[in-house]
Structure 1
Amino acid sequence: MNNYEKNIIRVCDYINQNLDDDLTLDMLSTVSGFSKYHFHRVFSAFTGVNLIKFIQMSRLKRASFRLVFKADIKIIDIAFEAGFESPEAFSRAFKREFGQSPSEFRKFPEWLNWHEKTDTLAMPLIEKANNKMDVKVIDFKEQKVAALAHYGDPKLHYQTSMKFVAWRKTSKLSPIKTSKTYGIPYSDPHVVKAEDFHFDLCGSVTVDIPENEYGVVNQTIPAGRCAVVRDIGNRDDLRKGVYYLYQQWLPTSGEQCRDFPVFFHYVNFVHDVPEHEVITDIYLPIK
């Protein structure tokens, strides 16, 4: 990765960490180390979008999470947080980008279209696999969980998340704020066909849950030793941490894998904290 790419990535990180600030061309060109006369063109050449578009789309992406997972926040407040002077201006911009008004998206988000638009914000990241990551070996205690299966396109996983959140709120058996949230992928979304992808979204519980209309079932994450690595930032691609465990740590560790898939502990959520503060612990079960 050359210095140009690293500088542009630094700018993108700065934008996402400071979405509430007045992000001017002069300020961001200073962050980039490029002359302001060239920075805008260099940024567009590397990202495929102009600077203003990137900033607005980053704010709209954050707003979309607020709309869906923070129903208690009014749309007008989300509009102002996203930097718009009025809810009308926010609604026009949101519909122009995602094809739905904020209120429509809040009720029935079209996630495939949303991914198509927000994937343009994905920057090539410095490979974590090339950097040493801090791996800890722990004894994981058996965890009873309520699980909701997701089958099919991984880009529709937020749809399953919405359903699981609704069950948690209705049942009150796995409170979002006090229970742990896990993800168990039974296949690699980058390897299998979209229709063959299987993933369980889980919340810790202390009692068995009754049969319910949401399709949430009882399940257990077994006890045993696990190698754990922490990923911080965008949760759209956790494979670098996963591959680090398999490719670099496991072959030199003398350990062997147990008969249970890698699983994730979602320490916090993008609708609660800025995207660069999202924490995910990746567990590799070992013998």
Structure 2
Amino acid sequence: MPIPIHTDDDARTRYAKRFEAVLAYIEANLEGDLSVDALSRIANFSKFHFHRQFASYVGVPVARYVQLMRLRQAARRLASREPCSVFDAALEAGFESPEAFSRAFKRVFGTAPSEFRQRPSWQIWSAFFVVPYFSRKLTMQVQIVDFSEVRVAALEHRGPPGLLNESVRKFIDWRKRSGQAPVASTRTFGIPYGNPDTMPADDFRFDLCAEIDAPLEPNAQGVRELVIAGGRCAVVRHSGSTDHIGETIYPIYRDWLPASGEELRDHPLFFHYLSVYPETPQHEWQTDIYIPLV
């Protein structure tokens, strides 16, 4: 009987899949048991070596990674316009007490949770959230493609990013009622005009877009027709909630672009949403980020 031959690439792929399962588990269970014992069982690794394997693969110790993920969730919760107390944010993020949460939050953000809720600063978060795993993965997955222009129906959102979901619901309702851009059978895009992490919240503008193949009918919702220009683009896929999409975008500009020799086109980046909302859980969402190039 022939003996199967396993290449180094096969072994690396299997190894990576085990860690991808661990990272997905952490993302989906931030309120649960994320001890080394629990996570080593998910990965099917020895608990005596798991913390070293994790730090080597991801770039930070497992306890640090879990804390950053929990703080990220709490920060997003506090910055949303839905009522959320510091106590609730602490418990939902898996901290044992509001005091422990506040100490960890201030150590990372340099401000108290209550102050961050009043004046969210994602620029500070981006400076502290440095996990080598994300930059390494992005560098390997950036592709350059020729994007064909597409006609879309667009609803403009203006105002705080935390209120974007209200515009999403309004746009989905228009799509269902109009029948011009069925949710399940046409491509969905998003176009941010500016960086929500650095611009005043009230100045933020974002177009919610759906592909159309017929003239747009007049409507009371303010949905208009526009064209997403075609051309060369760098593309990278973001996995998980779009609340954290900035963590995928920043390394493109910081690491990939300077080393690529490419030049940016004078056109905003845009997103192609590959998952259907709300049928797909947020931690399983897939979104392609297009960076227009000359």
Selected match of 1:261 from 253, 268, 288: 268
Letter in 1 for 2:170: K
Selected match of 1:129 from 126, 135, 143: 135
Deviates more, 1:133-142 or 1:113-122: 113-122
Q: What are the residue-to-residue correspondences of 1:179-198 with 2, within 5 Å?
A: 179-198=186-205
User: Distance between the aligned counterparts of 2:25 and 2:69, measured in 1?
Assistant: 18
1:160–1:26 CA distance, 2 compared to 1 (3 A): closer
Query: How far 1:11 sits from its partner (Å)?
Result: 7.1
Q: Does 1:31 align with 2:42?
A: no
Letter in 2 for 1:261: P
User: Distance between the aligned counterparts of 2:212 and 2:227, measured in 1?
Assistant: 10
- Residues 116-146 of structure 1 show CA distances to partners (whole Å, capped at 9, x for unaligned) of 7679649968352354341111110010000
Q: Corresponding residue for 1:14?
A: 25
Query: How far 1:185 sits from its partner (Å)?
Result: 0.3
Letter in 2 for 1:151: R
Q: Corresponding residue for 2:3?
A: none
Query: How far 1:13 sits from its partner (Å)?
Result: 3.9
Q: What are the residue-to-residue correspondences of 1:1-287 with 2, within 5 Å?
A: 13-14=24-25, 17=28, 29-31=37-39, 46=67, 112-113=81-82, 121=93, 126=131, 128-129=134-135, 131=137, 132-269=139-276, 271-287=278-294
TM-score, with normalisation over the residues of structure 1?
A: 0.62
Query: How far 1:274 sits from its partner (Å)?
Result: 2.6
1:264–1:25 CA distance, 2 compared to 1 (3 A): closer
Query: How far 1:114 sits from its partner (Å)?
Result: 5.6
User: Distance between the aligned counterparts of 1:247 and 1:27, measured in 2?
Assistant: 33
Answer whether contact 1:183 1:265 (CA < 8 A) is retained: yes
1:29–1:202 CA distance, 2 compared to 1 (3 A): same
Query: How far 1:14 sits from its partner (Å)?
Result: 1.7
User: Distance between the aligned counterparts of 1:139 and 1:28, measured in 2?
Assistant: 44
Answer whether contact 1:234 1:278 (CA < 8 A) is retained: yes
User: Distance between the aligned counterparts of 2:177 and 2:281, measured in 1?
Assistant: 27
Q: What value does the CA root-mean-square deviation take over the aligned residues?
A: 3.8
User: Distance between the aligned counterparts of 2:283 and 2:236, measured in 1?
Assistant: 17
Structure 1 residue matching 2:257: 3-state secondary structure: helix
1:237–1:226 CA distance, 2 compared to 1 (3 A): same
User: Distance between the aligned counterparts of 2:130 and 2:213, measured in 1?
Assistant: 39
Letter in 2 for 1:182: F
1:17–1:240 CA distance, 2 compared to 1 (3 A): closer
Structure 1 regions of 5+ residues with no counterpart? 1-8, 35-41, 58-96, 98-110
**Percent identity of paired positions between Structure 1 and Structure 2:** 36
Query: How far 1:15 sits from its partner (Å)?
Result: 5.7
